[in-house]
Amino acid sequence: MADDRRRRPALAAGLSLPAAAAIGLGFLLPVLWLARMSFNPSDPDGALREGWTLHHYAELLTDSFYGELALGSLQMSAVSTLGALLVGYPIALFLFRLESRWKTLLVLLAICPLLVSGVVRAYGWIVILGDAGWINSMLRGAGLIDRPIRLVNNHIGVAIGLTESLLPYMTLSLLAGLGRLDRGLEEAARTLGASPLRTFLRVTLPLSLPAVVLGCTICFMLAISAFVTPRLLGGGRVFLLATEIYEQALLTLNWPLAAALAVAILAMFTLVLVASGRLQRRVAE
Amino acid sequence: MAPGGGHLALAGLCKDYGVGDPAVDRLDLEIGRGEFVALLGPSGCGKTTTLRMIAGLVEPTAGRILLDGDDLTAKPTHRRNIGMVFQNYALFPHMSVADNVAFGLEMRGIAKAEARSRVAEALGLVRLGGLEARRPKALSGGQQQRVALARALVIRPDLLLLDEPLSNLDAKLREEMRGEIREIQRRLGITTVFVTHDQAEALALADRIAVMERGRLAQLGSPEEIYERPATPFVARFVGRVNALAAEAGADGRLRIGGALLSVREPAPPGARATVMVRPQHIQLGSSGGTLSGHVTGVTYIGDVVQIAVAGDGFALTAERGTADPSWRGLAAGQAVSVGWPPDSARVFPETADGR
């Protein structure tokens, strides 16, 4: 098999052509076009003009509003990624260890939220978290609070919604990365006198770190580029990079500035990927 | 009786997974202090389940495990003070050799300096000094095996449990490690339970062998007893090579194949069918004077021994000769031979007692 493949580079190239074409035409070309657009000057009314300028990047770097946006986006992504990790890790570990004919079904169950559109899920959270939602109604009914606790249209709501929307991705990545975990290693630790907690801390957790890094990388990138959830659960009061791109591109119609913001997010992606690659190598040792 | 009295005792130990027959069925076993006992049997006979119950990794359905009279049954694994070597060694891939060996000491809260010297001592015991900083995956199979052994011994366990520790090594290394394990076990005087499906390993290593069949103890005895006086046809077949001959007892209780009277010590119930078992090396071949007559059907030369297949009226068997013994030379297929054996070397298993 492997020899055949080495002997027929033309066949290999031919077979990867469709995928290469799809990525080239559907992804690389638009991204390059977007990058080009971020250097286009724009009129005060937003109209795009021909030419080259660094104006939009200068604006991103000097206007503290964008610095706060970036910081807020990073914070929100970190918090929701951590949330998804804390909720998803036990689920993934449980599913990984499960030896049951129901395993496949339970794995499907863990990722079935992906079948529902993000918009629908966001509205679902509004029903639960809103001022007249289930949680506030219950707390009020129990006489624990007089006024509703604000759980949507603020950062709390966005964090909860993002965490939930990341959870299937986190669970899947962890499941995929847990392969190195061997029940025998945990048993060996137990026979050597390690309590269940110490077995987890010294054996299970270190061996699952590559999976954790993988899951966190994917989720962090998904979170930082998430738009629907922050938009709907933030109620226009939570400003993040992704929502700002939407504002600039579709409401202010300043496409070059939106493009520059998108390039900034891409740069952050690259940084996260490089950092995660380094981390991955360290924890995989 | 076990030397030094019962150190480890299994009393009526059962494990029933709820599907099919119980994995381990009312097992009673007493192991003396410092004794090396092999649990021997084919896969699925319950030997590994038994070992894992002793380790606390499998919860017994019924029965008790006693160590010096203390009931271990409800004690969690990490409080049992046992050293266990797993079939795939189960070395921690994210730790160095030294950290692997030190793990059990760390869990016991032993001070760093003392731990270091004990790790060095344990690695010296398995002749692995100088490899402390390596990761397990940078070691050969034999070296990994030694690390696993050092890791299990360094905690000075009450019991050493070995789960087919040699099965992943090549034949030559296996024999070498076999001798080494035995030597270390004797030197430390540690009570050891060894699980294997390899009868040669069990015979070479163990003080006593517990042969298991379908969750039950088929026979418990010294290697000589197990090999020379197997209690059941299963034990005879499983330990060493054996010829099984279907015989019938006449009205006088004497066993015959065809018309030929067999030379056996034990009588059988009149009219009963019985299996007569004779080891290949006990089969005597000659031109006359034997009890059965047949002809040679094949001669197979396999290096240190030669196997001579013989068939006759109502029987087929294999004799074995060391190749240093010249008597087999000149034997060829088709040649008529007379077959016999010393009466003491034959075991008779009447079919009724066999039950299968």
What's the average model confidence in pLDDT over B120-129?
Answer: 91
Reduced to 3 states (helix: H, G, I; strand: E, B; else coil), residue B200 is helix
Q: Which CATH architecture has domain B6-236?
A: 3-Layer(aba) Sandwich (3.40)
Per-residue pLDDT tens digits for A206-259: 999 999 999 999 999 999 999 999 999 998 888 899 999 998 888 888 899 999
CB contact under 8 A, A192 and B94: no
Residue B232 confidence (pLDDT)? 92
Of A188, A194, A206, Cβ closest to residue B94: A206
CA distances from B95 to A116, B82, B101 (A): 43, 21, 9
Instruction: Confirm or reject contact between A184 and chain B (CB < 8 A).
Output: yes
Question: Which chain B residue shows the shortest CA-CA distance from A195?
Answer: B78
Residue B4 confidence (pLDDT)? 44
Above 90 in pLDDT, residue B289? no
List residues bridging with A257 in a β-sheet. none
Looking at the complex, report in whole angstroms how far the Cα of residue A201 sits from the nearest Cα belonging to chain B. Answer: 12
Instruction: Confirm or reject contact between B77 and chain A (CB < 8 A).
Output: yes
List the domain boundaries for chain B: 6-236, 241-354
CB contact under 8 A, A193 and B108: yes
Instruction: Confirm or reject contact between B165 and chain A (CB < 8 A).
Output: no
Query: What tokens appear for A149 in the block?
Result: 């606790």
**Chain B residues inside the 8 Å CB shell of A189:** 92, 103
Residue B256 confidence (pLDDT)? 85
Nearest to B47 by CA among B253, B210, B276, B235: B210
Residue B290 confidence (pLDDT)? 78
**Chain A residues inside the 8 Å CB shell of B93:** 180, 185, 207
Say if residues B123 and B46 touch (Cβ distance below 8 Å): no
CATH number listed for the domain at residues B241-354: 2.40.50.100
**Chain A residues inside the 8 Å CB shell of B88:** 182, 184
What's the average model confidence in pLDDT over A248-272?
Answer: 91
What fold does the segment set A57-283 form as a domain?
Answer: MetI-like fold (1.10.3720)
Question: Which chain A residue shows the shortest CA-CA distance from B90?
Answer: A185
Q: Which residues contact A49 (CB under 8 A, 6 or more apart)?
A: A40, A41, A42, A43
Can you tell me the distance from the alpha carbon of A247 to that of B265, in angstroms, rounded to the nearest whole number?
102
Instruction: Confirm or reject contact between A11 and chain B (CB < 8 A).
Output: no
Instruction: Confirm or reject contact between B86 and chain A (CB < 8 A).
Output: yes
Nearest to A163 by CA among A94, A171, A277: A171
Per-residue pLDDT tens digits for A14-50: 999 999 999 999 999 999 999 999 999 988 777 788 8
Q: Residue written as tokens 């076009």?
A: A33
Put residue B89 in one of left, alpha, beta given phi > 0 → left and psi -120 to 50 → alpha. left
Per-residue pLDDT tens digits for B299-334: 999 889 999 999 988 899 999 999 888 888 888 888
List the domain boundaries for chain A: 57-283
Instruction: Confirm or reject contact between A205 and chain B (CB < 8 A).
Output: no
DSSP state of A115: G
Instruction: Confirm or reject contact between A285 and chain B (CB < 8 A).
Output: yes
CB contact under 8 A, B81 and A193: yes
What's the average model confidence in pLDDT over B212-234?
Answer: 94
Instruction: Confirm or reject contact between B300 and chain A (CB < 8 A).
Output: no
Per-residue pLDDT tens digits for A85-105: 999 999 999 999 888 889 999
Reduced to 3 states (helix: H, G, I; strand: E, B; else coil), residue B331 is coil
Can you tell me the distance from the alpha carbon of B18 to that of B91, in angstroms, rounded to the nearest whole number?
32
Can you tell me the distance from the alpha carbon of A137 to that of A144, in angstroms, rounded to the nearest whole number?
10
DSSP state of B295: E
CB contact under 8 A, A193 and B92: no
Can you tell me the distance from the alpha carbon of A259 to that of A161, in angstroms, rounded to the nearest whole number?
26
Above 50 in pLDDT, residue B353? no
Above 80 in pLDDT, residue B2? no
Percentage of residues in chain B with pLDDT exceeding 70?
A: 97
pLDDT class for A4, splitting at 50, 70, 90?
Answer: low
Of A180, A187, A192, Cβ closest to residue B155: A192
Residue A16 confidence (pLDDT)? 92
Residue A1 confidence (pLDDT)? 46
CB contact under 8 A, A191 and B151: no
Residue A6 confidence (pLDDT)? 59
Say if residues B350 and B272 touch (Cβ distance below 8 Å): yes
Can you tell me the distance from the alpha carbon of B323 to that of A104, in angstroms, rounded to the nearest whole number?
58
Which of A191, A197, A198, A212 best tests the B interface by mutation, with the highest count of B CBs <10 A?
A191
Which ranges of chain A would DSSP assign to H, the alpha helix?
2-7, 9-23, 29-37, 55-62, 64-97, 103-111, 118-129, 134-141, 155-177, 183-191, 196-199, 205-224, 228-234, 241-246, 255-283
Average of per-residue pLDDT values in chain A? 90
Task: Note the Cα B82 to chain centre separation in Å.
Answer: 21
Above 90 in pLDDT, residue B224? yes
pLDDT class for B1, splitting at 50, 70, 90?
Answer: very low
Between A21 and B266, residue with greater pLDDT: A21
Residue B264 confidence (pLDDT)? 78
Percentage of residues in chain B with pLDDT exceeding 90?
A: 66
Q: Which residues contact A80 (CB under 8 A, 6 or more apart)?
A: A158, A159, A162, A163, A166, A219, A223
Above 60 in pLDDT, residue B354? no
Residue A8 confidence (pLDDT)? 80
pLDDT class for B158, splitting at 50, 70, 90?
Answer: very high
Nearest to B103 by CA among A182, A208, A193: A193
Per-residue pLDDT tens digits for B76-117: 999 999 999 999 999 999 999 999 999 999 999 999 999 999
Which of B79, B86, B95, B137 best tests the A interface by mutation, with the highest count of A CBs <10 A?
B86
Average of per-residue pLDDT values in chain B? 90
Looking at the complex, report in whole angstroms how far the Cα of residue B90 sits from the nearest Cα belonging to chain A. Answer: 5
Task: Note the Cα B141 to chain centre separation in Å.
Answer: 22
Between B269 and B187, residue with greater pLDDT: B187
pLDDT class for A3, splitting at 50, 70, 90?
Answer: low
What is the value of ipTM here, to two decimals?
0.84
Nearest to A256 by CA among A54, A116, A94, A73: A54
Instruction: Confirm or reject contact between A195 and chain B (CB < 8 A).
Output: yes
Residue A237 confidence (pLDDT)? 87
